[in-house]
Amino acid sequence: MRFDGKAIRCQPYPPNPMIRTFFVFAVSFVWLSVVQAQEIRIYKEIDTTKLAMTVYRASAETQKAGGMAPAMVFFFGGGWTGGNVAQFEPHARYFSQRGITCFLVDYRVQSRHGTSPFESLQDAKIAIRYIRAHGDAFGIDADRIIAAGGSAGGHLAAAAALVEDYDDDTDDTTISCIPNALVLFNPVIDNGPGGYGYERIGEAFPRFSPLHNIRAGAPPTVLFLGTADRLIPVETVQYYRVVMEKVGSRCDLFLYEGAGHGFFNYGNIDYYTQTLRESDRFLQSIGYLGSEIE
């Protein structure tokens, strides 16, 4: 159902078979198009560590039609401990064909770099600043940057928008790290007592947790969650939406009945296509995309 322009849906499984089949076909058509990662950029060197982002540029046709493209920056999930950029490669391939230049950002995690969630957030902020600072080179509109992510990657996207601390000492803070819109897949948004990651965040949670830092001007957001998620309670995202609305910011919430954590990934094609379609509609509604594939 929808009310006052906000979406709060509890999605059945499966969706209408005809709609699902058609959209899967449309997504597959895009997937089979010639889409290649056009470049890998090093956005930060820290000691011997080189942090890279993989760039999928908007298709030439869409760039010619619309000029500077929006940007979509993806942060993978993995509890700030593991994970890799391949998680959102299908999304990047799809949205690059839709006219958005996409960035799959690698960042420091505990298993590979021996780091904490705080360094992960530093890297997310650095990455967005790098993209914004090099907007002309990437052919993007630096005022239309979407941050997206799943689970802990969803935390990084939301925290880059809301959390004021955890900037790298060498970062140019005159360049904003705040994205202009958020697309969040079962995101970690509460790091307080009882929330995900509190045992690692500890008493720093008031300065690290997106839920505890929502304020006026928060970017328009679409958020997806399965009702059977054992890490992110439904009540948490519902409260997040309430607080967003209290400060005057849009937060569309989609709930998927019986779906667990990570339900949106490409391996779960039905949920993948449903959440991709709603993400597309959300980006249309804020003027970042034209009409979706019909």
Comparing CA positions, the residue from 219, 233, 231, 238 lying closest to residue 283 is 219
What CATH number does the domain containing 107 carry?
3.40.50.1820
Instruction: Confirm if 67 and 60 have CB atoms less than 8 A apart.
Output: no
Range of the domain at 146: 16-211+260-285
Written as one letter, the residue type at 160 is: A
Does 125 reside within a domain?
yes
Q: What is the pLDDT of residue 156?
A: 98
Does 236 reside within a domain?
no
The Cα–Cα gap between 107 and 51 comes to 6
Does 148 reside within a domain?
yes
Torsional sign, CA 112, 113, 116, 122: negative
Does 235 reside within a domain?
no
User: What's the total number of domains in the chain?
Assistant: 1
Does 271 reside within a domain?
yes
Tell me the three state secondary structure of residue 137: helix
Does 255 reside within a domain?
no
Does 243 reside within a domain?
no
The Cα–Cα gap between 196 and 39 comes to 34
Rounded to 5°, angle at Cα 84 from 288 and 154: 45
Using omega within 30 degrees of 0 as the cis cutoff, is the peptide bond preceding 206 cis? no
Q: What is the pLDDT of residue 290?
A: 92
- For 159-217, what is each residue's pLDDT tens digit? 999 999 999 999 999 999 999 999 999 999 999 999 999 999 999 999 999 999 999 99
- For 32-59, what is each residue's pLDDT tens digit? 444 556 799 999 999 899 999 999 999 8
Mean pLDDT for each 10-residue chunk of the chain (294 residues)? 45 50 47 61 94 93 71 98 97 97 98 97 98 96 98 98 95 96 98 97 98 98 98 98 98 98 97 98 97 60
Q: What is the pLDDT of residue 291?
A: 84
Does 281 reside within a domain?
yes
As given in the structure block, the two tokens for residue 215 are 């304020």
